[in-house]
Amino acid sequence: MTCPDPIAWDTLVDYWAADLDPTATDDVEDHLFGCPACTAAAARVAAITEALRAALPPVLSRARIEQLRTRGARIRENTFSPGQRREVLFARDADLLIHRLAGLDLAQADRVDFRITDEATGDLIAAVEAVPFDPAEGAVYVACQRHYGTLPADTVMSVAVHAPGTPPRTATYTILHRFE
């Protein structure tokens, strides 16, 4: 079945991104209730937008971790000190493994950058500027996800703390991952 007046793809994207004004949202919803062709197209857009909403960045705030926990995510946490090298287990009964990279002086920090490299090769795995950090705890929270099991198991995580008037200070943590 085809629609004589299909909703434009960009309108469906705006709808699922909640970027439409209330009147336009009502119009789209009214149309979707009566049009199977547009409902099918909207479902394709929804699959993409909902997958993007569910994706987690590599570094999370404590508030986001607690929000995930409240929603039922099974989370295991471990704490690392600067310079520490240790193996961690991502158990089968966990959805996320949170690495609390602690021991940082973040009281004056205005930005924290994060890098992951392969310990064996030095190859860069990921680099993220301006990650969330907790100045009171002196920590950055890294969210290790199950699909990261395809990445190198021996990782070096580096945190660069930027504060006004001082050169960046870097701390490293070597985390050896084992997945069940």
CATH domain 59-179 topology: Immunoglobulin-like (2.60.40)
Q: What is the pTM of this model?
A: 0.74
* pLDDT, position 52: 66
Indicate the domain borders of the chain. Answer: 9-54, 59-179
* pLDDT, position 92: 93
Tokens of 175: 């985390």
Digit-by-digit pLDDT tens for the chain (180 residues) are 688 889 999 998 888 888 899 998 999 999 999 898 989 888 888 887 776 666 789 999 999 999 999 989 999 999 999 999 999 999 999 999 999 999 999 999 999 999 999 999 999 999 999 999 989 889 999 999 888 888 899 999 999 999 999 999 999 999 999 999
Cα(76)–Cα(161) distance, rounded to whole angstroms?
Answer: 25
* pLDDT, position 14: 87
Dihedral (C-alpha) 124, 107, 65, 55: value to the nearest 10 degrees?
-40
* pLDDT, position 42: 84
Assess contact for 102 and 81: CB atoms under 8 A: yes
